[in-house]
């Protein structure tokens, strides 16, 4: 009788352990699911005007270029560029060498954002100067940009992308066009 009671007890104990284990797995699964899919923390995205080589259009990228190239995120009625976290800015995933706040250009009326591939023309840009709104001007190594874009031919028209973080937490994205020159 004693051993039967013992068996019953150990059976109950085993079942309890299995139930606890299943419950724990269920909790873990819930935790990992909610960690993988954070529905409330997806940041909003702000599309901004970008001007590579302000004052110039088309924007040349010289294959033998060794100097720096300037890339401006242009201020607008909606965008105060001082609200951009400067250390977060990347051009084709490259960090800028230095940056400054200065009014250098007016946004191009037709963003290249909506076009891609063969539809992008080298003159989808503007050479218009200051417009009274401050811009964030960033300097990048031309040599590093060329390495980042890979192999090119003279006359190739490329769209380069800029990303950054707004101090509100929003993701900033923009782009401009360059033409490969020798």
Q: Which residues bind Ca ion (CB under 5 A)?
A: 51, 53, 56-57, 59, 103, 125, 131, 133, 135
Which residue has 């004693």 as its token pair? Answer: 2
Nearer to Ca ion, 103 or 162 (CB): 103
Give me the least distance between CB of 138 and Ca ion, in Å please: 13
SS3 144: helix
Instruction: Please check whether residue 68 is in contact with residue 150, taking contact to mean a CB–CB distance below 8 angstroms.
Output: no
Nearer to Ca ion, 103 or 124 (CB): 103
Give me the least distance between CB of 98 and Ca ion, in Å please: 19
SS3 43: coil
Q: Return left, alpha or beta for 117; rule: phi > 0 is left, psi -120 to 50 is alpha, else beta.
A: left
Q: Which residues of 28-51 are buried (b: 16+ CB within 10 A; e: fewer)?
A: eeeeeeeeeeeeeeeeeebebbbb
Give me the least distance between CB of 100 and Ca ion, in Å please: 13
Nearer to Ca ion, 55 or 165 (CB): 55
Instruction: Please check whether residue 96 is in contact with residue 169, taking contact to mean a CB–CB distance below 8 angstroms.
Output: no
Nearer to Ca ion, 42 or 137 (CB): 137
Nearer to Ca ion, 74 or 146 (CB): 74
Tokens for 3, please give them. 């051993």
Instruction: Please check whether residue 148 is in contact with residue 22, taking contact to mean a CB–CB distance below 8 angstroms.
Output: no
Give me the least distance between CB of 48 and Ca ion, in Å please: 12
Give me the least distance between CB of 78 and Ca ion, in Å please: 13
């Amino acid at each position: 009788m004693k051993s039967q009671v013992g068996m019953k007890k150990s059976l109950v104990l085993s079942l309890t352990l299995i139930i606890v284990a299943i419950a724990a797995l269920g909790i873990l699964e819930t935790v990992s699911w909610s960690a993988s899919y954070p529905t409330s923390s997806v940041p909003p995205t702000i599309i901004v005007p970008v001007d590579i080589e302000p004052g110039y259009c088309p924007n040349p990228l010289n294959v033998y270029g060794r100097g720096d190239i300037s890339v401006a995120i242009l201020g607008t009625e909606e965008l105060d560029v001082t609200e951009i976290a400067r250390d977060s800015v990347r051009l084709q995933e490259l960090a800028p060498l230095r940056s400054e706040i200065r009014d250098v250009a007016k946004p191009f009326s037709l963003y290249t954002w909506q076009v891609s591939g063969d539809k992008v023309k080298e003159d989808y840009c503007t050479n218009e100067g200051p417009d009274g709104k401050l811009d964030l001007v960033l300097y990048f190594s031309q040599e590093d940009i060329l390495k980042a874009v890979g192999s090119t031919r003279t006359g190739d028209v490329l769209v380069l992308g800029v990303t950054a973080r707004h101090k509100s937490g929003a993701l900033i994205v923009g782009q401009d066009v360059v033409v490969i020159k020798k």
